[in-house]
């Protein structure tokens, strides 16, 4: 669970850096997404497990899908113009989100496997 919390903190930091760089027309969506990551960070740090991890997987999947389907984001990533936007988008929108999905799935699998082993004793 500690790994998921660290990744969520990194996502919040990258999101806070990226927030002023985004399109002002979509600031309300960006703020809602940033607040959802902050709430998920708080919940995972308090130890609320299964539903929080499932929410992490769902939100990260939506972020990856949204970034992939956006023509503007695809253009920024393919041309790397402007460079700082592309770096923030690739790191925050793909790398950290993929790490969040992988670590959440790993934590769910590890916890489930630990319970099964514990119940067999």
Q: What is the pLDDT, as a whole number, of residue 120?
A: 38
| DSSP single-letter state for residue 22 | S
Q: What is the DSSP string of 17-71?
A: HHGGGS-GGGHHHHHHHHHHHHHHHHHHHHT--HHHHHHHHHHHHHHHHHHHH-H
For the cut 80, the answer to whether the pLDDT of residue 11 exceeds it is yes
Peptide bond into 31 cis (omega under 30): no
pLDDT in tens, 32-51: 999 999 999 999 999 867 89
Q: What is the pLDDT, as a whole number, of residue 114?
A: 61
If pLDDT is split at 50, 70 and 90, which confidence band does 115 have? low
User: Whole-prediction pTM value?
Assistant: 0.88
Which residue ranges make up each domain of the chain? 2-120
Look-up: residue for tokens 């389907």?
Answer: 69
pLDDT in tens, 83-106: 999 999 999 999 999 999 999 999
């Amino acid at each position: 669970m500690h790994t998921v919390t660290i990744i969520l903190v990194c996502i919040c930091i990258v999101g806070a850096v990226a927030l002023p760089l985004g399109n002002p027309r979509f600031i309300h969506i960006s703020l809602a997404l940033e607040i959802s990551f902050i709430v998920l960070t708080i919940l995972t740090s308090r130890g609320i497990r299964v539903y929080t991890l499932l929410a992490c997987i769902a939100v990260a999947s939506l972020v990856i899908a949204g970034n992939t389907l956006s023509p503007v984001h695809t253009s920024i990533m393919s041309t790397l113009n402007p460079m700082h936007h592309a770096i923030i988008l690739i790191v925050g929108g793909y790398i950290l989100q993929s790490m969040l999905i992988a670590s959440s799935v790993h934590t769910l699998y590890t916890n489930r496997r630990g319970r099964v082993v514990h119940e067999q004793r």
